[in-house]
Structure 1
Amino acid sequence: MVENRPWLSFCSYLLLILGVIAVALPVWLALVAATHHSHEVMSGQVSWLPGELGLSVFAEVLNGEASRELGVPVAGMLFNSTLMALLIAVGKLSISMLSAYAVVFFRFPGRMLCFWLIFITLMLPVEVRIMPTFKIVADLGLLNSMTGLTLPLIASATATFLFRQFFMTLPPELLEAARMDGAGPWRFFRDIVLPLSRTNLAALFVITFIYGWNQYLWPLLITTDDSYYTMVMGLSRMLAVDNGDIAWNRVMAVSLLAMLPPVVVVLGMQRFFVKSLVEPEK
């Protein structure tokens, strides 16, 4: 029997409320700062309530009227970042899942050697191998292209390792039953392994999407065309002002817009987590 302790429930809810306030307060301050004039933000005396500008600053940055600081409309950067993050996430999951499937369910010479070669690449992040990677991308003529932005970042040893660990927990009887039913490797992967991996796919999709969204060094290195700028690069460019004051209200507006796609992805994937926990077979 679970003992009812009102004071314990009160403390739990109070702690949760404090946590929500701690997370939401900076977002609220950024939203309020975006509705005030830039000189009011610089004065440090911004009210806790929205200012007279309202949401007009968001319309300005989305319509390209703020391109004076950026050189490219925010809507274009938002599209570039979203497309880049989606391609990286889908590419990472596809390659990692197939490579882990091959390592676990196929028997071929050098199988474990292939896995450990993939795993060792965890010690070689993009920053370590950035110059040879840039040389290859430049030689292939992929500078200033979405392919060049995404292709070198698709391989993921972490996702391969996590999928391998999950596949190893699947009962061998599933594979034997599939063979008895005449299912080949592709059908076994499509009808059995893939549906059972939904929770892992959802979690890793969120992680890899945010990883792609937050990329700064690699896009900065291979991009010279403003039309391929990402949101992170745009924010950095808005803050790098040589002469004149920084338009902090527009910086805050762009920062809030940069939060929207990752937040949408997290909220969208949340229902898959809950569904996987309440399914009867789980």
Structure 2
Amino acid sequence: MIERRPGLTFLAHLILILGVLVVAFPVFITFIGSTQTAEQVSTSNPLSLWPGNNFIESYRLALFGGKTTGGSTIAPVAPMLWVSFVSAMVISIGKIAISLLSAFAIVYFRFPARGLVFWMIFVTLMLPVEVRIGPTYQVVSDLGLLNSYAGLTVPLIASATATFLFRQFFLTVPDELVEAARIDGAGPMRFFFDVLLPLSRTSIAALFVIQFIYGWNQYLWPLLVTTNEDMYPIVLGIKRAIFGEVYVEWNVVMATAILAMLPPALVVMLMQKWFVKGLVDTEK
């Protein structure tokens, strides 16, 4: 029997509401600032909590660029949003594809030093980014991949974490499924596509959400491999909007920040059911 305690229920909901307010309030302030003019944002102390009447102009300047009333030149972020979207999709899909195949090979194929190969992959998690980023940049530069989608995405595709998670999941798949596939005459790749992939779809969805956000929020690597503004992702666009002008158009900066938050938020909302299911349900 479940014991109902109204006091504890109220306290739990109160803590959750406070947590939501703490997280949502900066986003709310950013949105309010994006609807006001640069002068209102700069001179208001404290910033007004009511929306202004500059919503359309702020987002038009953020998306398509142009001259502001203060004389600043705003670079359009629409191309940056596209660069971030392509990079995030390639990174997330590439990580999942390579991790699935590598985990499949480690679990279902017998070859010398199979365990050593897995642990060599897993040990890469212990290497700090600073250790790997210099040699990786040198390789990308030598291959002529600077200022390209390949340079932005290929070095980030390999994922020891995803390989580890898929390996652990594949180890829980009953051996009877493997034997039944062999009896039916299914080869390794047919077993992979017809059995393992359908069983892994919730895990794939959960990892896709995580990896999409990871790829979308990349800052340090694009900062190194892109010198052409046409290949700037949106995160670099925010940095450029703040440090690129003597007079910062804060309303445009905040509009850019809101635009940068929308795609990851939409991915989380649209895939929330699959994301939660992939974390708590193995679907075997």
Matched, 1:260 2:262: yes
Matched ranges for 1:69-84 at <5 A: 72-84=75-87
Query: Equivalent residue of 2:130, what SS?
Result: coil
Where does structure 2 lack aligned partners over 5 or more consecutive residues? none
RMSD between superposed Cα atoms in Å: 2.3
Matched, 1:223 2:223: no
What does residue 3 of structure 2 align with? 3
**For 1:143, which of 131, 139, 146 is the aligned residue?**
146
Where does structure 1 lack aligned partners over 5 or more consecutive residues? none
Cα 1:190–1:276 change in 2 (3 A) is same
Matched ranges for 1:158-237 at <5 A: 158-237=161-240
Letter in 1 for 2:8: L
Normalising by structure 1, what TM-score? Answer: 0.91
What does residue 114 of structure 1 align with? 117
1:61 & 1:156 partners in 2: Cα distance?
34
What does residue 16 of structure 1 align with? 16
What does residue 35 of structure 2 align with? 35
Cα shift at 1:198:
1.6
Cα shift at 1:70:
7.5
Letter in 2 for 1:132: P
1:70 & 1:231 partners in 2: Cα distance?
17
After superposition, the C-alpha distances for 1:51-95 in whole angstroms (9 at most, x for unaligned) are 121332112211222698687411000010011011001111100
Letter in 2 for 1:266: V
1:281 & 1:251 partners in 2: Cα distance?
44
What does residue 249 of structure 1 align with? 251
What does residue 126 of structure 2 align with? 123
Percent of pairs with identical residues = 57
Query: Equivalent residue of 2:218, what SS?
Result: coil
Letter in 2 for 1:4: R
2:37 & 2:270 partners in 1: Cα distance?
34
What does residue 45 of structure 1 align with? 46
Normalising by structure 2, what TM-score? Answer: 0.91
Cα 1:30–1:280 change in 2 (3 A) is closer
